[in-house]
């Protein structure tokens, strides 16, 4: 069965297509009812069994999440009694939460096997939510970019590290690490004796790192809500296996991109493989998101090389084309919602794909009123992307047993739902701060 046919069957199960999925409509109606009238005596009335049939064991938790959001919105806006009207902004904020509650069947889109993929779209979307909420949260303390904060945290927990070790630990190239270290040196947060010497924290950096770490610990507790210590141990054990494969894939894709013969097969496993830079990966077990960021960074870097080699597209262009082809013709708002990016970035990328003859727009004038479909050439590249994604995902998860995959997916789903709630809370705080 092709990836596209699998995806469309998954969507049919949840009532998706060109219209709103049934599970989504039920939760939306319930949340509006709670906002208008307060918490009911029971969950979505006669629709409870239907919701459970659509979402399975996730139904009860999904209901509690939208109820908590609706009650929080009532409290924030001072709403009391029953029969209240629902403000337009309520739908917008609630849609963010519902995007994170999509049933697992819908995540089949990214891979060719029967296991939901947390490797590509789901991982990117989770980290995008976490990063946005982190920027809002940490900005209230100090204006540092994400990589600067990660380096502060890493050096505080691991001690002095040379830039190459930092690069391996965070999964970004040495040039980015060098620029970040330079910024931290200028802010007198870190110090070193010479350019290749280990980087250590100054007293000022230690004080800031400790303050931010307290906030990070609070955020981590929120993200690991309802996750036991045993589950965390299983989660990190799987990440170690995935990281080893992700770095191997990156090294092999990099070698392939530099090869004139193009004869190297990136999916051949070297049993004696060690990272080419000789630096051991450091996994930060104190916070659940850090190793996921590192995993995403390495997998994205190898993906950028692979998709560029195979299609000439960037990582984000690949993602956009993939999303359009999986649900063509797709309308603008649905596409942007799935990408979890702002309209301007998505618009530039869609425009570039249209100009290159890979997408075509139909419908009323204006980008936001149209529907997008891949051209014949776009469809050809989509098939290449799907095949490459299937092979990459299979290579990455090959060392995992069926039980390990299931446990990892279950824990990942908990983190994702916690991240959705955390982001909505931070957005609410930010809105209140601007009143």
Residue 326 belongs to a domain with what CATH number? Answer: 1.10.10.10
* 55 shares its domain with 72: yes
Quick one: average pLDDT of 111-121?
A: 49
pLDDT at 105 over 60: no
Are residue 73 and residue 162 in the same domain, yes or no? no
16 vs 56, residue with greater confidence: 56
Task: Say whether pLDDT at 377 is over 90.
Answer: yes
**pLDDT of res. 206:** 92
Q: What is the pLDDT of residues 62-81, one digit of tens each?
A: 777 788 778 877 877 788 88
CA distances to 224, 225, 286, 304, 405 from 417, in Å: 10, 10, 20, 28, 18
Q: Based on the fold, state whether residues 196 and 79 are members of the same structural domain.
A: no
Domain contains 216: yes
Q: Let me know whether 54 and 172 are in one domain.
A: no
Instruction: Tell whether the model's pLDDT for residue 8 goes beyond 60.
Output: no
The backbone torsions φ and ψ at residue 199, rounded to the nearest 5 degrees and listed phi first, read -95, 130
pLDDT at 16: 40
Same domain, 86 and 154: no
Q: Is 313 left (phi over 0), alpha (psi -120 to 50) or beta?
A: beta
Query: Does residue 112 fall inside a structural domain?
Result: yes
Report how far residue 80's alpha carbon sits from residue 69's, in angstroms, rounded to the nearest whole number.
15
Q: What is the pLDDT of residue 424?
A: 86
Asked if the structure places residue 81 within a domain, the reply is yes
| Residue 422 resides in a domain | yes
Greatest mean pLDDT range, 40-44, 83-87, 100-104, 415-419: 415-419
Specify the pLDDT at position 4.
Answer: 36
140 shares its domain with 109: no
pLDDT band at 285 (very low <50, low <70, confident <90, very high): low
pLDDT digits (tens, 9 = 90+) for 191-211: 998 877 899 999 999 998 898
Domains of the chain: total: 3
pLDDT-derived band at 127 (thresholds 50, 70, 90) equals confident
Higher pLDDT, 117 or 295: 295
| Residue 96, CA atoms < 13 Å, CB-side half-sphere | 25
Cα separation, 356 vs 207, whole angstroms: 51
Last residue of a domain, one of 190, 223, 256: 223
Question: Hey, how many other C-beta atoms are within 10 angstroms of the C-beta on 382?
Answer: 22
CB 167 within 8 A of CB 294: no
In a domain, 399, yes or no: no
Residues 150, 125 within the same domain: no
354 and 418 in a common domain: no
- The residue from 204, 223, 242 where one domain ends is 223
Confidence at residue 275, expressed as pLDDT on a 0 to 100 scale: 63
Does any domain span residue 240? no
158 and 190 part of one domain: yes
The range of the structural domain enclosing residue 358 comes to 315-383
* 241 part of a folded domain: no
Is 118 among the domain residues? Answer: yes
One domain, residues 118 and 62: yes
Of 223, 240, 256, the residue that ends a domain is 223
Residues 178 and 118 in one domain: no
Same domain, 205 and 109: no
């Amino acid at each position: 069965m092709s990836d596209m046919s699998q995806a469309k069957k998954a969507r049919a199960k949840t009532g998706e297509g060109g219209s709103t999925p049934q599970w989504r409509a039920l939760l939306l109606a319930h949340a509006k009812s709670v906002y208008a009238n307060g918490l009911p005596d029971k969950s979505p009335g006669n629709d409870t069994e239907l919701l459970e049939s659509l979402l399975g064991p996730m139904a009860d938790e999904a209901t509690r999440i939208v109820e908590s959001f609706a009650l929080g919105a009532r409290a924030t806006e001072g709403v009391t009694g029953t029969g209240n009207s629902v403000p337009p902004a309520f739908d917008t904020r609630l849609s963010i939460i519902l995007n994170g509650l999509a049933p697992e069947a819908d995540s089949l889109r990214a891979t060719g096997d029967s296991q939901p993929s947390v490797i590509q779209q789901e991982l990117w979307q989770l980290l995008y939510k976490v990063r946005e909420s982190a920027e809002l949260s940490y900005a209230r303390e100090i204006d540092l970019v994400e990589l600067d904060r990660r380096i502060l945290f890493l050096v505080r927990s691991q001690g002095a590290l040379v830039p190459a070790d930092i690069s391996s630990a965070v999964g970004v190239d040495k040039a980015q690490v060098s620029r970040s270290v330079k910024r931290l040196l200028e802010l007198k947060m870190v110090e070193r004796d010479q350019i290749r010497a280990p980087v250590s924290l100054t007293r000022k950096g230690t004080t800031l790192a400790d303050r931010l770490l307290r906030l990070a610990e609070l955020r981590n507790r929120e993200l690991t809500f309802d996750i036991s210590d045993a589950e965390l141990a299983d989660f990190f054990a799987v990440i170690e296996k995935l990281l080893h494969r992700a770095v191997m894939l990156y090294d092999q894709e990099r070698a392939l991109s530099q090869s004139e013969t193009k004869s190297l097969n990136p999916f051949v496993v070297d049993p004696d493989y060690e990272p080419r830079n000789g630096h051991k990966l450091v996994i930060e077990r104190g916070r659940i998101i850090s190793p996921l960021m590192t995993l995403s960074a390495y997998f994205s870097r190898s993906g950028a090389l692979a998709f560029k080699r195979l299609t000439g597209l960037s990582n984000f262009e690949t993602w956009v084309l993939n999303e359009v082809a999986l649900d063509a013709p797709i309308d603008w708002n649905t596409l942007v919602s799935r990408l979890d990016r702002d309209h301007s970035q998505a618009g530039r990328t869609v425009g570039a794909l249209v100009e290159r003859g890979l997408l075509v727009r139909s419908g009323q004038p204006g980008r936001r009123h149209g529907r997008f479909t891949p051209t014949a050439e776009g469809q050809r590249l989509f098939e290449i992307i799907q095949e490459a994604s299937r092979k990459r995902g299979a290579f990455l998860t090959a060392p995992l047993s069926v039980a390990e995959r299931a446990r990892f997916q279950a824990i990942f789903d908990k983190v994702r739902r916690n991240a959705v709630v955390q982001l909505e809370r931070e957005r609410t705080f930010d809105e209140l701060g601007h009143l």
